[in-house]
């Protein structure tokens, strides 16, 4: 559990660095990847799976979703 907490803390720290000169697409992709990785790791660890695999899958899916949402915000679409 300590390892999972440390991994989530590192991901959140990395996700909060250097977002000032990024486009909305880039910000969305980075934020989505960090949130997805943390969530995927947590769900995988709770369900008894491999937290690393959960973080990888969650990060990939979160990055794609965040990038798409950020891109649509750049284009002026609203939900």
> For residue range 22-76, what is the model confidence (pLDDT) as tens digits?
889 999 999 999 999 999 999 999 999 998 999 999 999 999 999 999 999 888 8
Asked if residue 68 is part of any domain, the answer here is yes
Asked if residue 55 is part of any domain, the answer here is yes
The range of the structural domain enclosing residue 69 comes to 28-73
Asked if residue 67 is part of any domain, the answer here is yes
Asked if residue 17 is part of any domain, the answer here is no
Asked if residue 10 is part of any domain, the answer here is no
How many domains does the chain contain in total? 1
Rounded to a whole number of angstroms, the distance between the first and last alpha carbons of the chain is: 37
Q: In whole angstroms, give the CA distance from residue 69 to residue 48.
A: 31
Asked if residue 54 is part of any domain, the answer here is yes
Q: In whole angstroms, give the CA distance from residue 59 to residue 53.
A: 10
Looking at the chain, how many residues does it have?
Answer: 79
Contact 57, 22 (CB under 8 A): no
Q: Residue 78 has what pLDDT?
A: 65
Asked if residue 13 is part of any domain, the answer here is no
Asked if residue 15 is part of any domain, the answer here is no
Q: Residue 53 has what pLDDT?
A: 93
pTM for this model (two decimals): 0.72
């Amino acid at each position: 559990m300590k390892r999972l907490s440390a991994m989530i803390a590192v991901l959140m720290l990395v996700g909060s660095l250097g977002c000032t000169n990024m486009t909305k697409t880039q910000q969305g992709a980075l934020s989505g990847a960090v949130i997805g990785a943390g969530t995927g790791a947590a769900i995988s660890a709770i369900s008894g799976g491999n937290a690393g695999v959960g973080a990888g899958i969650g990060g990939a899916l979160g990055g794609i979703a965040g990038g798409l949402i950020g891109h649509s915000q750049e284009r002026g679409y609203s939900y």
